[in-house]
Amino acid sequence: MTSDTTHLAPLFARMTGDEKHEWAAASTLDVLWVLYDRVLDVAPDRVDDPDRDRFLLSKGHGPMAFYAVLADKGFIDASILDTWTDFGSILGQHPDRTLVPGVEIGSGSLGHGLPIAVGQAFGLRAQGRSARVFVLIGDGELDEGSNHEAIAVAGRHGLDHLTVIVIDNDNADHGWPGGIAARFAVENWATATVDGRDHDAIHAALTADHPGRPLVVVADVRKG
């Protein structure tokens, strides 16, 4: 297990004022870092490049880790973090794609990112592009029925440039008997379940081949 996200803590603190607790507890932090540091083919000077990979933060609440990563990678100036949630700031408690460079969707209401990602995967495939679409959702968000519509559509159509990351912090009120991965596997998805704090494991899962099928990576960040 590796942990090389400590340099993000001061960025996180510019929004929350807390360097010690909240940033390390952010459930999405490690997955976001691995995506932007080692997986995604994106760059601040290519935010409109049609061949860029797409990352969709569907779980839009608590986006501080996302903003910290975007600042670290140069998509936004770190000083903007100080304006977080101010009127006129580009950064709010839910991201707005029309305001923030490099943010692919506005999110906050649960269950919208995955259906949009499916549409992007169809569009990129129709254009013959090799770009990939990654969408991050939460295990609680998975409750939304719109996700299950999209899981079925993506599986039946074999959208192999689509990857869903489910951050599993045991948030769903009624749980997922049989495991989250099983909900995807039955719809012809490739699946992996990893320790959501283990960067090498996350990286290996996100970069595994899954020809002819979409991929779900369940990142377990349950406490204790």
Partner 1 sequence: MTSVDLRTMREAFAEHLTEALDQDPRVALVLAAISRGLFERPSRDYPDRVVNVGIREQAMIGVAGGLALTGFRPVVHTYGPFLVERPYEQLKLDLGHQGVGAVLVSVGASYDNPAMGRTHQAPADVALFDTLPGWTVHVPGHPDEVGPLLAGAIAGDDRVYLRLSARSNARPLPVTGEFVPLKHGSLGTVVAVGPTLDNVLAATEGVDVSVLYTPTIRPFDSAGLRAAVDSTAPNVLVVEPYLRGTSAAQVADALADVPHRQRSIGVRRDLEVHAYGTPEQHDEIHGLDAAGIAKTLRELLGY
**Binding site residues, partner 1, CB under 8 A:** 50, 96-98, 104-106, 109, 111-112, 114-127, 145-146, 149-150, 152-153, 156-157
Residue 53 is encoded by which pair of tokens?
Answer: 């990979």
Of 164 and 221, nearer to partner 1 (C-beta) is: 164
CA of 83: how far to CAs of 21, 23, 168, 171, 204, in Å? Answer: 21, 18, 30, 30, 36
Q: Shortest distance, CB of residue 18 to partner 1, whole angstroms?
A: 30
| Residue 25, number of CB atoms within 10 A of its CB | 14
Of 57 and 68, nearer to partner 1 (C-beta) is: 57
Q: Shortest distance, CB of residue 78 to partner 1, whole angstroms?
A: 26
| Alpha carbons 209 and 192: distance in angstroms, whole number | 11
127 touches 137 (CB < 8 A): no
Of 18 and 96, nearer to partner 1 (C-beta) is: 96
Q: Shortest distance, CB of residue 54 to partner 1, whole angstroms?
A: 8
Q: Shortest distance, CB of residue 184 to partner 1, whole angstroms?
A: 15
130 touches 107 (CB < 8 A): no
Of 123 and 178, nearer to partner 1 (C-beta) is: 123
| Alpha carbons 199 and 207: distance in angstroms, whole number | 12
Of 22 and 104, nearer to partner 1 (C-beta) is: 104
Q: Shortest distance, CB of residue 201 to partner 1, whole angstroms?
A: 29
Residue 164 is encoded by which pair of tokens?
Answer: 């869903």
Q: Is residue 12 packed enough to be buried (19+ CB in 10 Å), middle (13-18) or exposed (0-12)?
A: buried
Q: Shortest distance, CB of residue 128 to partner 1, whole angstroms?
A: 9
Q: Please, what's the b/e burial string for 71-92 (b: 16 or more CB within 10 A of its CB; e: otherwise)?
A: bbbebbeeebbeebeeeeebbb
Of 83 and 109, nearer to partner 1 (C-beta) is: 109
